Structure 1
Amino acid sequence: MGSYKKNAFIYAVIVALGSFVFGLDAVLISGGFKFITQEFNLTPSQVGLIGSAPGIGVLIALPLTAFSSDKLGRKLTLQIIAVFYIVSAVGSAFAASFLSLFWFRFLGGLAFSSVTIASMYIGEIAPVKQRGKLVSTLQINMGIGFTAAYLINYWILQKMGSDAQWVQDYNLANTGWRWMLGIEIIPAMLWFLLLMIIPKSPAWLIYKGRTDEAKKSLSKVYPENEVDTQIQRMVKSVEESESSGSTAGQLKEIFSKKMRVVLILAFTLAVVQQFTGMNAVMIYAPTMFEQLGLGTDAAFSSTIWIGVIGLVSTLLSLSLIDKFGRRPLVIGGLALIVLSISMVSFGFKQATYTVTENAIVKMKDIPEIEKLNTIVGKEFDSDIKFKKSLTEILGVESVRDNSGVIFKETAHMNSLLILLSILTFIAAFNFSIGPIMWVLLSEIFPISNRGVAIPLFALISSTVSALVQYLFPLEMENFGAATTFIIYAGIVVVGLAILYKYLVETKGLSLEEIQAKLTR
């Protein structure tokens, strides 16, 4: 590997470390939901707000990120984002109430724009032949973050029930969720320090008219004999732009007639990626797996497979994206997503729930469990009807706090089918639209408006994400799992049809060649 390729790889890995922190931040909360709900006595709506708080925060952050990335540069913006991660992790770990936890999680959402700026930066410093792989390091690091978070959560959960002296000294049984959220402080601080090493984006320097600095920056990631050619292409792209350089000018260009296909592609990618329900599954995985009747410990351990399979699938995508191209991976992956989440819906639709005398004996540690004798032998064909009956008999808090045990002893379903379908969905997402959306967004916009365009469509994606994450516990509570997942499948089908028509192959093309292909 030449020194310039090595540099490009090192810079991409450093920047992508932010995605690792993102992955931790997004998933660590999943292990704490049950304990946070008990400590602060949360309603399903409040649980949804805690889960979606980062998604709401990023809605505020992305417009500011667009401004900052253009005015201050990609590098400084990333360093500011790293500080937000640090403050959010500290505040969340020491949160004293629902509101304080919400606001610190919201602050963490301001840092979620790291993925957007990182994809922009890597797309601008990566050589053409390495661009797909290097941008995909974002999803790889995110997958590593997800996996690490599930492992950390499971380890802490196991220790919370231990009699070890240090567990008692730290009162881990009552503070475990705080340690889950606080562990993020370490990698966030490391990322902040490593960002000092990376050069400024050459594309941003050209946009600012600082050509000499751009050459110096580009020479670190391109062979010396190719630097001038790349600089000329960048300068030409800026000169041919219809944008005035202002945010309004860039928006005008983005919504111009010549950008119509790019606009359709970016919007569809942004919406469909989130309406797969992926983020909701990642965040609420332990709660959802409890409903399969796995029990709390098994539900937490099963989530580790989500992280591992997601990571392996992303690595596979990385190895194939510059060989087979973006289009076949996206189209094939979305088709498999539709099939897998439809099977999840089918599995939950076939489920039944029955309280037996033997089940009541096994659940004897639940206060007043004998009250369930009134529904012994009655079969419920819907999780909604069953939860409603349980709540009427035992009360909201008892059902909420003991849901893992209750579903383990009363649920009758093809848990293996649902679990395998969920894991297939995870694999398909991370093989296709998960990482490749960011690759495509980093490719399809010209230098002249990418500083606004990429954050804009990341904003749209984040808006949908926040909505999905907030509504998921409410949908599960009011519509049930079967209906929730079939809705996701229907939306993905629509997106698949649009992308099948408009998505062109961008493999092996320079950013300027891609724009010429899409805007002619």
Structure 2
Amino acid sequence: MDNPSVVVKMNKSYTILISLIVALGGFLLGFDSAVISGAVKGITVYFAMTDAMLGFAVGCVIFGAMAGNLLAGPMADRFGRKKVLIAVAALFAISATWSALATGYTEFIVARIIGGIGIGGAILIAPIYIAEIAPPKLRGSLVSFNQLNIVIGISVAYFSNYFLVNHGSESWRWMLGVEAIPAVIYFLALFTVPRSPRWLILRLNQVKLARKILMRIGGEEYAEFTIAEIQRGQARKETKGKLSDLFDRKYATIMTIALGIAFFQQITGINAIFYYAPTIFEQAGGSTDASFLQAIVVGLTNLAFTLLAIRLIDSLGRKPLLLIGTGAMTVALLLATLAFGRATYDFDRESLDKIAPVETRETLRALEGRSFDSQSALFAEVKPMLSEAEFLDFQRNQISGVIRINAVLVLVAILLYVAAFAISLGPVMWTLISEIFPGKIKGIAISVVGFFNSLVSFTVTQVFPWELTQLGPTATFAIYALLSFLAILFVYRYVIETKGKTLEEVEQALIRS
């Protein structure tokens, strides 16, 4: 609180409880984003998907998130944050249940998009609500609950997939359906939280009800001071920014930084890793169980280094974290490239016996005793020997039986990559863009940048299955390594340090006169 004369009798436990309940939206967001990784193989077989169909089935949730980004803000302003969050919880529950019960590809896609709309709403409205309900001295830590819950949701999804992977021939249904349980809990718990006092005053002019909520948070004197601040801000409120304002030359540097960071956060492949982690580890020769277990380690690494980032972001600074993180990401992706590039593909009796379809196995026995140094050479030899369906199955599922690779190096590379992302581009991007935009355009600008970020993420997840099967993992990781290196150059050239600066100082440094 800015006025030192106001003595706050803070009800911290109540405020923390409200924030934890609302932050469950972040948990569902993370869970929904990562749970599909375990279902990839099952849905591919059940719905007879091509690479393009699989990419869309995984990535369509981001397509829905883009719609949620655009809808959630205006709806939250009109109907209130609480009502929109309740609708978000309902969307998560519907999506989980319908995805688990789907019998056709189209209805599966529709169910996934519904969940994506929930994601788009949760990522935008949950932090806004917490920021509006929290006292200034607690706001930073309480808002961080949402990011922390996203990471926890990702980790729990990996654990859930691991324990459900052998739960029958259609275990993917259980993996997707279990999300309905926390979604229903979230839906019911939201009815216990109050409406945003700021929204009550600014939208409905219900000062009496807002005062009652604020008194429970910080006492009478805090409530009166906060109401006065809200009303004072309402009186001096400047003209609302328009979309066209973003193209004003004076905002060129700000938009370059924001759109550039949003681009590199996703184009370097983080969601491809999260969504397809078990697939990558199976490509490295791991068994299904081992691949799911390694995905759990990925989730826990993400959680640990997100906690580290929360500790370092205000002490070390935004730009140093970004440079350290993108540098380590580049090294990690080069290690993955090296591991797959040095792999060989050997056809001996043991590896041939691992190929499940009898017809494919017998056909490929003609290659017994041969070894290939690259995946492209392997595919050039194998493709004429198999039907189109058999070759696609070999690319996706059977290749893990013949590959000889340093699997430990692959695991180390992926863990280093995730750790580096978790201390840099992951949490820093949203902090940075919340600081660099002036108040006049902040709302519309963050919505546009968020939409662009989701669009890039959708593109990456859509293309990744095609890259793995058509280009191979070596070329795929090499491309991501190059993009990560370009991210280092971008951060060094364009990003400014905002640590310790007031928002006015940041604005003065970035806006052209």
The TM-score range, normalised by the shorter chain, is 0.7 to 0.9
The answer to whether the 8 A contact 1:75-1:199 is kept is: yes
Cross-structure match for 1:97: 104
**Structure 1 counterpart of 2:191, one-letter code:** M
The 3 A distance-change label for structure 1 pair 42 and 389 is: farther
Where does structure 2 lack aligned partners over 5 or more consecutive residues?
Answer: 1-7
What CA distance in whole angstroms lies between the structure 1 residues aligned with 2:30 and 2:502?
Answer: 30
1:335-358, Cα deviation, whole Å (9 max, x unpaired): 211221122222222222121234
Which of 150, 154, 161 in structure 2 is aligned with 1:142? 150
Q: 1:243 and 2:239 equivalent?
A: yes
Aligned pair partner of 2:113 in 106, 110, 113: 106
Q: Deviations over 1:144-170 (max 9, x none)?
A: 111111111111123x3xxxxxxxxxx
CA 1:360–1:62: 2 relative to 1, 3 Å? same
Checking the alignment, whether the CA contact within 8 Å between 2:396 and 2:469 is kept in structure 1 is no
State the distance in 2 between where 1:221 and 1:444 align.
Answer: 30
Q: Once the 2 structures are TM-superposed, how far is the Cα of residue 455 of structure 1 from its aligned partner?
A: 2.5
Could you tell me which residue of structure 2 aligns to residue 66 of structure 1? 73
Aligned to 1:464, the other structure's residue is in SS state helix
Per the alignment, do residues 151 and 344 of structure 1 end up closer, same or farther by CA in structure 2, a change over 3 Å counting?
A: same
User: Are 2:319 and 1:327 aligned?
Assistant: yes
Q: Which amino acid aligns with 2:328?
A: L
Instruction: Trace 1:226-241 onto structure 2 (pairs within 5 A).
Output: none
Structure 2: distance between partners of 1:125 and 1:517: 31
Counterparts of 1:399 and 1:370, CA distance in 2: 14
Using the alignment, how far apart are the partners of 1:52 and 1:464 within structure 2? 11
Letter in 2 for 1:115: I
For 1:323, what is the secondary structure of its paired residue?
coil
Give SS of 1:316's match. Answer: helix
How far, CA to CA, are the matches of 1:100 and 1:3 in structure 2?
49
**2:10 maps to which of 3, 6, 23:** 3
Map 1:266-415 to 2 at 5 A.
266-363=258-355, 366-398=358-390, 406-415=398-407
Deviates more, 1:257-266 or 1:342-351: 257-266
**Residues 435 and 41 (structure 1), Cα distance of their counterparts in 2 relative to 1, 3 Å cut:** same
Q: Please list, as runs of the form range in 1=range in 2, the aligned pairs for 1:21-36 lying within 5 A after superposition.
A: 21-36=28-43
Offset from partner CA, 1:154-200 (integer Å, 9 cap, x none): 11123x3xxxxxxxxxxx32x31111111010111111222233344
Partner letter of residue 74 of structure 1? R
1:86, distance to aligned residue in structure 2 (A):
1.3
- Specify the code of the residue in structure 2 equivalent to 1:306: V
Map residues 470-489 of structure 1 onto 2, 5 A cutoff: 470-489=462-481
Q: Against the structure 1 CA distance between its residues 458 and 215, is the aligned structure 2 distance closer, same or farther, given a 3 Å change threshold?
A: farther
C-alpha displacement of 1:42: 1.0
Please identify, of 472-481 and 375-384, the stretch whose mean Cα deviation from structure 2 is larger: 375-384
Name the counterpart of 1:51: 58
Per the alignment, residue 451 of structure 2 pairs with: 459
Structure 1 residue 413 displacement after superposition: 2.1
Relative to structure 1, the CA distance from residue 254 to residue 435 in structure 2 (aligned partners, 3 Å threshold; closer, same or farther) is same
Q: C-alpha distance in 2, partners of 1:354/1:284?
A: 25
> What CA deviation, in whole Å up to 9, does each residue of 1:284-339 have, x standing for no partner?
11111111011222112211111111111112222333433433323322221122
Structure 1 pair 296/472, CA: closer, same or farther in 2 (3 Å)?
same
Supply the distance in 2 between the matched residues of 1:496 and 1:234 (Cα, whole angstroms).
41
Indicate the structure whose relative CO is greater, using CA pairs within 8 Å and at least 6 residues apart. 1
Alignment CA distance shift 1:483-1:203 (3 Å):
farther
Alpha-carbon spacing, 1:358–1:499, altered in 2? closer, same or farther (3 Å): closer
Q: 1:297 to 1:367 in 2, by over 3 A?
A: farther
For the 8 Å contact 2:155–2:296, the answer to whether it is kept is yes
SS of equivalent residue, structure 1 residue 324: coil
Q: CA deviation at 1:208?
A: 3.7
Aligned amino acid, residue 466 of structure 1: F
Q: Which moved more, 1:389-398 or 1:73-82?
A: 389-398
SS at match of 1:427: helix
Q: Could you tell me which amino acid in structure 1 is paired with residue 184 of structure 2?
A: M
* 1:479 counterpart SS class: helix
Deviation at 1:223, TM superposition (A): 7.4
When residues 468 and 457 of structure 1 are mapped into structure 2, their CA distance, relative to the original with a 3 A threshold, is same
Letter in 1 for 2:345: Y
Shift of 1:54: 0.6
- Residues 426-435 or 220-229, more deviating: 220-229
Cα-to-partner distance string for 1:490-519 (whole Å, 9 max, x where unaligned): 333333333334444445667677656655
SS in 1 for 2:481: helix
Whole-angstrom distance in 1 between the partners of 2:438 and 2:83: 22
Question: Of 158, 180, 186, which aligns to 2:175?
Answer: 180
- Confirm whether residue 468 of structure 1 aligns to residue 464 of structure 2: no
User: Which secondary structure does the structure 2 equivalent of 1:440 belong to?
Assistant: helix
Residues 333 and 431 in structure 1, CA contact (< 8 A), matched pair in contact too = yes
Aligned to 2:124: 116
Alignment check: 8 A CA contact 1:363 1:406 kept: yes
Note if contact 1:136-1:435 (Cα within 8 Å) is conserved in structure 2.
no
- Please give the alpha-carbon distance, in whole angstroms, between the structure 2 residues aligned to 1:256 and 1:52: 33
Provide closer, same or farther for how the CA distance between residues 13 and 97 of structure 1 changes in structure 2, counting only shifts above 3 A: same
Name the CA distance, whole Å, in 2 between partners of 1:226 and 1:261.
Answer: 39
- The verdict on how the C-alpha distance between 1:386 and 1:237 changes in structure 2, with shifts beyond 3 A counting, is farther
Q: Deviations over 1:92-140 (max 9, x none)?
A: 1110111110111111111111112223333444445544433332232
3-state SS of 1:3 partner = coil
The answer for the alignment partner of 2:192 in structure 1 is 197
Structure 1 residue 23 displacement after superposition: 1.6
Q: After the TM superposition, which of the residue ranges 268-277 and 102-111 deviates more from structure 2?
A: 268-277
User: Partners of 2:11 and 2:273 in 1: how far apart?
Assistant: 39
CA change 1:236–1:460 in 2 (3 A) is farther
**Secondary structure at 1:353 match in 2:** strand
Shift of the 265–220 alpha-carbon distance from structure 1 to 2, 3 Å rule, reads farther
8 Å contact 1:119–1:442 — kept in the other structure? no
Rate the CA distance shift 1:199–1:185 in 2: closer, same or farther, 3 A: same
After superposition, what is the alpha-carbon deviation per residue over 1:441-484, rounded to whole angstroms, capped at 9, x for unaligned?
44444555444333322111111111100011111122222222
SS at 2:165 equivalent:
helix
Counterpart Cα distance in 1 of 2:304 and 2:414: 15
Counterpart check, 1:428 vs 2:416: no
- With normalisation by structure 1, the TM-score equals 0.86
For residue 400 of structure 1, report the CA deviation from its aligned partner.
Answer: 5.2
